[in-house]
Amino acid sequence: MASVKTKALVIREAPYQDNDKLLTLFTEKYGKQRAIARGARRRKGSLRSVTQLFSYARFMYFEGKNFANISDGTLIESFYPLRGNVIQMTLASYIAELLDDFYDFYQGDPEMLKAVTHIFYYWSEHLAQNDGALAACFQLKLMRIQGLGPVLPRCVRCGAHQEALTGFSIADGGTVCQKCMKPSDIPLDPGLLKDMQDWMQQPIKNICHKKWQAANVQKGLDLMDRYITAQLGHPTKSYRFYKELTEQKGIQN
């Protein structure tokens, strides 16, 4: 069996048999990978810390018939503080859920892994002016990388750049102009459109340090989650939980 060495982020963990864990890794070189970590639930197991959800580590594993078998792991970042902040934890779970949903096994994407570890780093070090803006930036970058648009800032129906863009079409995947607007389109104000363009195009570092209007971040996240849900064909569990949490606590990001 081939032995593989790669950096990876743990995007899912579940108990397996007596002392083991079944993990989903988002690896640098080989995309999504399911792997068993033997003894990872033992108190003194050597794989205990590297196999926690959101741990970023250098793993060595052997490829198996159904699952890979992890033989060694060295922690790079645990992003431990994420677990102490319920909003960050929920947004991080949302990112993990989307990576799991949108990537296939063996579909490597080192750029995406880098982007996500940067976002987790900014969150866990409390460096972001607005935590939600980084999640919105992830949503848009993920859609673009997956080749799912959305088209902005021109009309997805007539192609106009000059017309005022007043709405967003989930079905057609982009902004729409005043002339082409249908009742089913979601109204979009120019401020939010500008922010969405920035989230899609600007480097994550810039998005982290800029102050964003909390109301726009919330609207952008909601809009993009509706779009993502339409692409997936099923709702995203973590985002629903995030909404319940923010509405209940009256928290804006």
Q: Under the rule (CB under 5 A), what is the footprint of Zn ion?
A: 155, 157-158, 160, 177, 180
Neighbours of 87 (CB within 10 A): 18
Q: Which residue, 144 or 182, is less far from Zn ion as judged by CB?
A: 182
Both tokens of 92, joined, read 């991080």
Rounded to a whole number of angstroms, the minimum distance from the CB of residue 78 to Zn ion is 48
Q: Which residue, 1 or 158, is less far from Zn ion as judged by CB?
A: 158
Cα–Cα dist 190/23, whole Å: 42
Q: Which residue, 76 or 151, is less far from Zn ion as judged by CB?
A: 151
Cα–Cα dist 22/37, whole Å: 6
Rounded to a whole number of angstroms, the minimum distance from the CB of residue 175 to Zn ion is 9
Q: Which residue, 166 or 216, is less far from Zn ion as judged by CB?
A: 166
> Do the Cβ atoms of 234 and 240 come closer than 8 Å?
no
Rounded to a whole number of angstroms, the minimum distance from the CB of residue 83 to Zn ion is 46
Rounded to a whole number of angstroms, the minimum distance from the CB of residue 147 to Zn ion is 22
Cα–Cα dist 165/174, whole Å: 10
Q: Which residue, 11 or 155, is less far from Zn ion as judged by CB?
A: 155
Rounded to a whole number of angstroms, the minimum distance from the CB of residue 224 to Zn ion is 21
SS (HEC) of 40-79: CCCCCCCCCCCCCCCCEEEEEEECCCCCEEEEEEEEEECC
Both tokens of 243, joined, read 């909404």
